[in-house]
Amino acid sequence: MLQDYKKPFYHFSIDDVIDSLIQVSDSSSDLFSNYFFEFLETIHKKYDVKIDLYCFYQKIFQNKLRNLTEVSDQYKKIFINNSWLRFGPHALDYDSPPYAQLPDQQIDVFDSIYKEIERFTGNPSKCEFLRLHFFTESYELSDYFQTQNIHSLFTTDKPDIAYRLDNDVKSILDSNGHVKFNKINFIRSHFRIETLVNENFSDSEICKLIENCLSKHEFVTFLTHERELIRPKVQTTIEFILSYLKDHKIMSV
């Protein structure tokens, strides 16, 4: 549970993941020779960061519909031996956010993703925090998420704070950074890397943002998207943030 983590801490995750899994499977090359996984291995070795990857089940990839059943299981031992890299469901695909589906439909999608995650990574790679596509707040599925070892869902980094929670609950979420509702924790997503890059945040502004999050909530949560990792500035900004957190002895969870 969230209270079991020693504060201060940080959480870093990547949304919309599927391309890199298909690419490395198609190439049958070493996992960490793929640009995406190579960068993740680099930052893990340098900063001891743990990373959650939230996956689509399917996507049009080079004009063909591909899905997670096509991901090779030849890397299972590598994933098991690198349990800092963890996987969870995000959505069926970009155009099918969970909030647009009935609860039973959501479970069917998540079960399909979990089935493939377990096949190609093994159970040690499953995450405990989860961000659903478009920050869906599926509190109706709290019992289901407990069966999958999920104790917390991330809410939006936008000023809305949350989309479906009532104002009293949102107020607690804003003040504390987290709140328990319908038997599941909700946690603020503080910022996304590409926003800092696109808005030309200076190093000092990034440091101030992190300090404000830690001061207010005693943790900081940030994200990016798989497609953003091709941008050198996104990579250097991630490294700057992780270096700052390591220097200040903030632990990754």
Residues in the chain: 253
Summarised one tens digit per residue, pLDDT across range 61-102 is: 989 999 999 999 999 999 999 999 999 999 999 999 999 999
Distance CA 87, CA 114 (A): 9
Q: Is 58 helix (H, G, I), strand (E, B) or coil?
A: strand
Asked whether residue 181 is assigned to any structural domain, the reply reads: yes
Asked whether residue 93 is assigned to any structural domain, the reply reads: yes
Instruction: For residue 160, give both structure tokens.
Output: 């809305």
| Domain assignment of residue 233, given as a range | 11-247
From 98, 6, 109, 34, select the one nearest 67 (Cα to Cα): 109
Q: Is residue 1 predicted with pLDDT exceeding 70?
A: no
Distance CA 92, CA 159 (A): 26
Q: What average pLDDT does this structure show over 168-175?
A: 98
Distance (Å) of CA 210 to CA 19, 196, 237 = 30, 12, 13
Q: Is 91 helix (H, G, I), strand (E, B) or coil?
A: strand
Distance of CA 178 to the CA centre of its chain: 16
pLDDT of residue 124: 80
Q: What average pLDDT does this structure show over 217-245?
A: 98
More confident residue, 2 or 31: 31
Asked whether residue 107 is assigned to any structural domain, the reply reads: yes
When divided into structural domains, the chain yields a total of 1
Asked whether residue 253 is assigned to any structural domain, the reply reads: no
Q: What average pLDDT does this structure show over 112-140?
A: 95
Sorting pLDDT into bands at 50, 70 and 90, what band is 28?
confident
Q: Is residue 170 predicted with pLDDT exceeding 70?
A: yes
Q: Specify which residues 61 forms β-bridges with.
A: 64
What is the percent of the chain with per-residue pLDDT over 90, rounded to a whole number?
95
What is the residue type of 207?
A: C
Q: Is residue 193 predicted with pLDDT exceeding 70?
A: yes
Q: Characterise 161 by phi-psi region: left (phi > 0), alpha (psi -120 to 50), beta (else).
A: left
Q: Is residue 4 predicted with pLDDT exceeding 90?
A: no
**Which DSSP string corresponds to 166-229?**
-HHHHHHHHHHSEEEETTEEEEE--EEHHHHHHTT--HHHHHHHHHHHHHHHSEEEEEEEGGGG
* CATH number of domain containing 188: 3.20.20.370
Asked whether residue 233 is assigned to any structural domain, the reply reads: yes
What is the average pLDDT score of the chain?
97
Asked whether residue 204 is assigned to any structural domain, the reply reads: yes
pLDDT of residue 95: 98
Q: Is residue 3 predicted with pLDDT exceeding 80?
A: no
Asked whether residue 224 is assigned to any structural domain, the reply reads: yes
Asked whether residue 5 is assigned to any structural domain, the reply reads: no
Look at the alpha carbons of 5, 182, 51, 203 in this order and tell me if their dihedral is positive or negative. Answer: negative
Distance of CA 237 to the CA centre of its chain: 17
